[in-house]
């Protein structure tokens, strides 16, 4: 039996990894398990490891890495602990392959740990570009540490081949986050708002805003501008708003605390650290608009029939559907983008990130590899 270990550090990547886990588990000869780390094991972020357990997924190791610091020193220390802890877990488990998704610092740490432990790496969603976050450099570093590459779009595939990776080991599969929506039926908006404790109003907004890790002050300006726009709409009584927490980047807890304090001031607003994979798509599908700077606004929102207002540079450079409207970190720009988004007709929107069958493609490509250890010897390929 071929052992595949998937690494998850937060609800955001867990929700994308679960359809892949299921597809791997259903593939003859493959046996998946999770290494759980990062936000999942922190009470400050809701200790969402409990969700993985209640969902019935197999966990091979838990690696706590976070401390109370909300700055670059805290991220650097967490990264070091992740390298050490995940390496220890790999030495114990000795999997045939590690499967990583995305561009977080804990994902980079996992790639370093696997390289040192001589475990082949498969990477999902490499080759993208996000100009406003240090995740951009992390993503490309993970690509060079990896041996199999599963991209969400053809442009990302071309970038990876340009980086000297073997074209035979690069597969354009689409985003696994869309796999959950093939037969998705959203709940009624009134039912959703009742579950969230929100009043039914003309507009319903969902927002997630993360720090811009390459320009924290610009990120703070964008968040302040967004809350200024929200305050005016809440005071007018026209809008209900759901805001979710930021991730564990430098200033992430600062941002989460700020939006929680804001939400507590208004009857029409509510804050959640994390909605979870079950409720989040229902919220986005029912929203008049998805706002902030989360990749979910580019990857998932178009497939859920919801326009996006993408603020600032965190996601700059990513491929985007016609339904994604860019805004500068100012109230006037955000208002203009909201007006354009709400008027936009979503009927003919095509999501550039695939057709919702990525997980099966990933599982099959892994099953077709005759021998994983041979992947460790890489050569630079000139395109």
**256-275: pLDDT as tens digits:** 999 999 999 999 999 998 77
The pTM of this model reads 0.87
Within 8 A by CB and 6+ apart from 81, the residues are 63, 64, 65
Hey, what are 381's tokens? Answer: 């390929």
Residue 381 lies in a domain: no
Are both 268 and 176 inside the same structural domain?
Answer: no
Residue 348 lies in a domain: no
> What confidence score (pLDDT) does residue 213 get?
74
Say yes or no: 26 and 105 in one domain.
yes
In tens, the pLDDT along 72-96 reads 898 899 999 999 999 999 999 999 9
**Are both 30 and 122 inside the same structural domain?**
yes
Q: Is residue 126 part of a domain?
A: yes
* Cβ–Cβ under 8 Å, residues 340 and 322: no
- pLDDT confidence tier of residue 47, bands split at 50, 70 and 90: confident
Does 309 reside within a domain?
Answer: yes
- CATH code, domain with 87: 3.40.50.2000
Which parts of 147-208 are beta strand (E)?
148-151, 170-172, 203-208
| pLDDT of the residue at 251 | 82
Distances (CA, A) of 97 to 20, 88, 117, 155: 14, 15, 11, 26
pLDDT, one tens digit per residue, over 282-330 is: 999 999 999 999 999 999 999 999 999 999 988 988 899 999 999 999 9
Q: Sign of torsion, CA 32 10 45 245?
A: negative
Q: What percent of the chain has pLDDT over 90?
A: 81
SS3 152: coil
Do 32 and 165 share a domain, yes or no?
yes
Residue 364: inside a domain: yes
Same-domain status, 57 and 99? yes
How many structural domains are present in the chain?
A: 2
Q: Which of the listed ranges 12-21, 124-133, 156-165, 210-219 does the model predict with the highest average pLDDT?
A: 156-165
Q: In the sheet that 59-63 helps form, which strands lie side by side, from edge to edge?
A: 59-63, 30-37, 2-8, 97-101, 121-124, 148-151, 170-172
215 in any annotated domain: yes
Whether residue 86 is found in the same domain as residue 209: no
State the Cα–Cα distance between residues 258 and 265, nearest whole angstrom: 11
First to last CA, the chain: 35
What pLDDT is attached to residue 212? 86
Range of the domain at 17: 2-181+356-376
How far apart are the C-alpha atoms of 39 and 49, rounded to whole Å?
9
| Same domain assignment for residues 12 and 135 | yes
**Domain match, 129 and 254 both:** no
Residue 349, domain member (yes or no): no
Instruction: List, for residues 108-131, the tens digit of each pLDDT value.
Output: 999 999 999 999 999 999 999 887
Task: Indicate whether 152 and 280 sit together in one domain.
Answer: no
* Residue 49 maps to a domain: yes
Residues 256, 151: one domain?
Answer: no
> Do 332 and 276 share a structural domain?
yes
Handedness of CA 121, 122, 126, 127 (dihedral sign): positive
Residue 276: per-residue pLDDT:
67
* Domain identity same for 108 and 252: no
Contacts of 142 (CB under 8 A, 6+ apart): 100, 103, 107, 108, 111, 121, 123, 126
């Amino acid at each position: 039996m071929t052992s595949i270990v998937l690494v998850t550090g937060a609800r955001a990547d867990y929700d994308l990894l679960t359809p892949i886990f299921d597809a791997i588990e259903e593939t003859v000869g493959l046996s998946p398990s999770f290494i759980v780390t990062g936000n999942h094991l922190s009470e400050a972020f809701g200790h969402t490891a409990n969700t993985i357990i209640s969902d019935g997924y197999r966990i091979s190791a838990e690696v706590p890495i976070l401390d109370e610091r909300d700055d670059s020193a805290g991220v650097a220390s967490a990264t070091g602990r992740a390298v050490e802890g995940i390496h220890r877990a790999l030495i114990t488990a000795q999997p045939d392959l590690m499967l990583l998704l995305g561009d977080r610092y804990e994902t980079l740490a996992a790639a370093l740990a696997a390289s040192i432990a001589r475990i082949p790496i498969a990477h999902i969603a490499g080759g993208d570009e996000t100009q406003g976050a240090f995740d951009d450099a992390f993503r490309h570093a993970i690509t060079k540490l990896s041996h199999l590459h599963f991209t969400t779009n053809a442009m990302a595939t071309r970038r990876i081949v340009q980086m000297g990776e073997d074209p035979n080991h690069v597969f354009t599969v689409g985003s696994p986050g869309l796999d959950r929506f093939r037969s998705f039926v959203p709940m009624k908006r009134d039912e959703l708002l009742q579950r969230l404790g929100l009043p039914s109003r003309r507009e319903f907004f969902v927002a997630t805003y993360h720090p811009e890790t390459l320009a924290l002050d610009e990120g703070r300006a964008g968040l302040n501008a967004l809350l200024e726009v929200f305050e005016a709409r809440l005071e007018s009584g026209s809008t209900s708003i759901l805001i979710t927490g930021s991730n564990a980047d430098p200033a992430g807890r600062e941002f989460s605390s700020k939006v929680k304090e804001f939400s507590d001031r208004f009857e029409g607003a509510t804050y959640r650290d994390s909605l979870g994979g079950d409720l989040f798509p229902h919220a986005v599908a029912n929203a008049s608009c998805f706002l902030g700077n989360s990749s979910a606004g580019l990857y998932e929102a178009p497939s859920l029939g919801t326009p996006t207002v993408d603020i600032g540079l965190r996601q700059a450079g990513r491929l985007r559907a016609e339904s994604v409207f860019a805004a500068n970190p100012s109230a006037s720009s955000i208002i203009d983008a909201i007006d354009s988004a709400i008027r936009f007709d979503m009927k003919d929107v095509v999501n550039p990130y695939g057709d919702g069958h990525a997980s099966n493609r990933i599982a099959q490509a892994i099953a077709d590899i005759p021998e994983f250890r041979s992947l460790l010897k890489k050569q630079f390929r000139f395109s």
